[in-house]
Every structure is written in structure tokens, then in C-alpha cells.
Amino acid sequence: MARPSSIDRLPDEAKELIGTLRRQGRTIDEILAKLRELLPPDQQPSRAALGRHTQRLDVIGARILERRAMANALVDRMGEGAENKLTRLNAEMLEGILNDMMAGEDGEQVALEPQDAMFLASTLRQIAQTKRIDADHLVKIREQAAKDAARKAAEVAERAIKAEGKKRGWKVAPEALKAIREQVYGIVEA
């Protein structure tokens, strides 16, 4: 594995500042000037290192935007509600980011420290759990929609049978309507 860049060795606050300034649209020279104000001379990165780092940030940002657009398009096509859409979008984005992190800059597999591997495994487990919960929620919504549709169809059929019976002078037994609800529409009342 390659040795950490001068940016990787910076304090977390400085790395966060770089990301914040880049998201605000600041140039490499503006970011470098700000770092020179805040960091001691022995921690200041070179312009080239900062350029490579901001280029990676830009690529990652573009990937996130691309994934977000794809996830939104796919979820919109499936017609899910806003809560499911957000859950799926977050899970897909996080999974993509983790996959990108596992491939180094040069495309080689990244070696992880044991605690990082544990964190990654835990995060992947949480993503899988989130997707399962999302899928279970979607199944429940569909089941409820099917029950509601069956109940509404049974009510329409019941009204139609009663109206037709009234026209023809039939007396429709409540047991017959109950049998239709149970056997045709699967609605069993307790």
C-alpha cells in the first residue's frame, strides 16, 4: 500500500476545511492560502498534493450526484413514497461510497486496519438491514393496498347484487353476501 499523502496526514479539521471550501467553489490557490494561515509550516501540503486531493473530491462528488440522480430516477419509476425513496437513496449512496473507498486511487484493493474492517463490516450489515426493512415496509404497503382494494370491490359487488335483487324482487341472504366476501374476495371478518 502506498504511503499516506501529505493531505492524509493533516488533522481532521484541516481535511474537513478543504472539503468545505471546495464545496463552496474555492480554487486550489484559495484553499492553499487558507491552509497556510492555519497550519504550521511543517504540516502545509504542496499545491500538487492539494490539487490531487481536490480532484479526488470532485470525482467523488460527481459520483455521488450521479448515483443520486440514478437512484431518484429508479425510485420515481417504481412509484414509492418519500420515506422509502429517502431510505433507498441513502443506502445505495452509502454502499457506493464504501465500494469506492475500497478501491484505491490506482484501482488496487485498499488494505484496512482491523478497526476499519470492523467499521466497514458493521456499516455493510446496517445497509443490508436498512434494505430489508425497506423491502418489508414495501410488502406491508402492498398487502394493505390489496386488502383495501378487495374490501372496496366486495362493497361494490354487494351493492350491485342488492340493487339487482331489488329490481328482480329477490331477497339476498346475508349469508350469501358473506360467502361472496370470503370466497371471492378473501375477506374474512372476525
pLDDT given for residue 145 in this prediction: 87
Question: 180 vs 51, which has greater pLDDT?
Answer: 51
For the chain, domain boundaries: 1-79, 129-190
pLDDT given for residue 111 in this prediction: 67
pLDDT given for residue 156 in this prediction: 83
Q: Is residue 168's pLDDT more than 90? A: no
Phi, psi of 174 (to 5 degrees): -60, -30
Tell me the C-alpha distance between 72 and 75, whole Å: 5
Q: Is residue 24's pLDDT more than 80? A: yes
pLDDT given for residue 54 in this prediction: 86
Tally of CB atoms within 10 A around 91: 19
Kindly report, residue by residue over 136-152, the tens digit of the pLDDT.
888 888 888 888 888 88
pLDDT given for residue 33 in this prediction: 93
Question: 91 vs 144, which has greater pLDDT?
Answer: 144
Q: Is residue 107's pLDDT more than 70? A: no
Q: Is residue 83's pLDDT more than 60? A: no
